[in-house]
Amino acid sequence: MALLNTLVLAILATGFLMVSRRSLDAIIRLYALQNILLALVSFALAGGEVHFIVAGLALFAVKGVLIPWYLFWLIDRLEVSHEVEGYLSVSLSLLLAGLLTALAFRVGKVFVLPEASLPQGVPVALALVLLGILSMVSRKKAISQVLGFLALENGVFLMALSESHGLPLFVELGVALDAFAAVFLAGILIFRIKGEMGHVDTARMRSLRG
């Protein structure tokens, strides 16, 4: 149990750091690390079931390696600065992140079901979801919004692990496939946005109103 607690806290820490860092490279590495930690949690909860370990490894390959690699390739090809531009200062982001985490722990109780296999993971999962939404709304670059979405998606994954032993294998793989397709599609769109408008700043996409 001590190991699981440490892992869950480490996951929360990666979520926090992702909100506060200003370098895209650092955020992508933190995202990869978060997935390694999530894979470790799922192995720890597996209790020797083989299909569980297979699913954990597959998810680790897709989300821990493939997606980060794709994102690194994407920002290199885009030739834009690797700095994250946001509406909020670092200290204000951290303050808001702290408030959202506190909120997640406060309301997390409602979401913890009596059957939950990892009750302490539920508020952390909720915090990751909220922090992901915070990154999505507070940052201007299209690619940092994708990273916010990915962090949110990890929160949902941790939720599935904590409430029960994760979703059935084929559902889990389908969900991962959808996430990968969404990121891939977003990547193509980012290329087109850069080509069409010469920047990847969603704050400047303002032609549609009303």
Partner 1 sequence: MLYLLVFLPLMVFLARRETTLLVQLSVLVPFLGLLLAPFLLGTAAGPFRLDGVGLFYLLLTDLIYGLVALFARGYFPREEAWRFYWAGAFFLVSAHGAYLAHNLGVLWIFVEGSTLASALLVYHKGGARALEATWKYLMLGSVGIAMGLIGVILVYALVGGATLDWGEVRSLVGEANPEGLKVAFALLLVGFGTKVGLFPLQAWLPDAHAEAPGPASALLSGTLLNVAFYALLRYTALMQAAGLFPFASGLLLAFGLLSLVFGALFLFGQREYKRLLAYSSMEHMGLAVFALGLGLPWLALFHTLAHSLSKTLAFLGASGILALSHAKEVGRVGGLVLHTPALGVPFILSLVALGGLPPFPLFFAEFKAVEVAMKSPWLGVPYLVGLGLAFAGLLYPMAQMGFGQGKPLGGRGLDLWLLWVLLLLLLLPGVSPPVEVFKALEVVLWKP
- Residue 202's alpha-carbon distances to 92, 132, 146, 176, 195, in angstroms, are 21, 17, 12, 26, 14
Pick between residue 90 and residue 189 the one whose CB is nearest to partner 1: 189
**Which part of the chain contacts partner 1 (CB under 8 A), choosing from 24-32, 66-74, 97-105, 177-185?**
177-185
- Residue 94's alpha-carbon distances to 4, 84, 108, 207, in angstroms, are 25, 15, 20, 32
Is residue 203 a contact residue for partner 1 (CB under 8 A)?
no
CB neighbours of residue 1 within 10 Å? 8
Pick between residue 89 and residue 207 the one whose CB is nearest to partner 1: 207
Binder among 40, 129, 131, 143 for partner 1 (CB under 8 A): 129
Is residue 79 a contact residue for partner 1 (CB under 8 A)?
no
Binder among 58, 136, 140, 201 for partner 1 (CB under 8 A): 136
| Residues 82-111 within binding reach of partner 1 (CB under 8 A) | 110-111
Q: In the Cβ-directed half-sphere of 2, how many Cα atoms lie within 13 Å?
A: 0
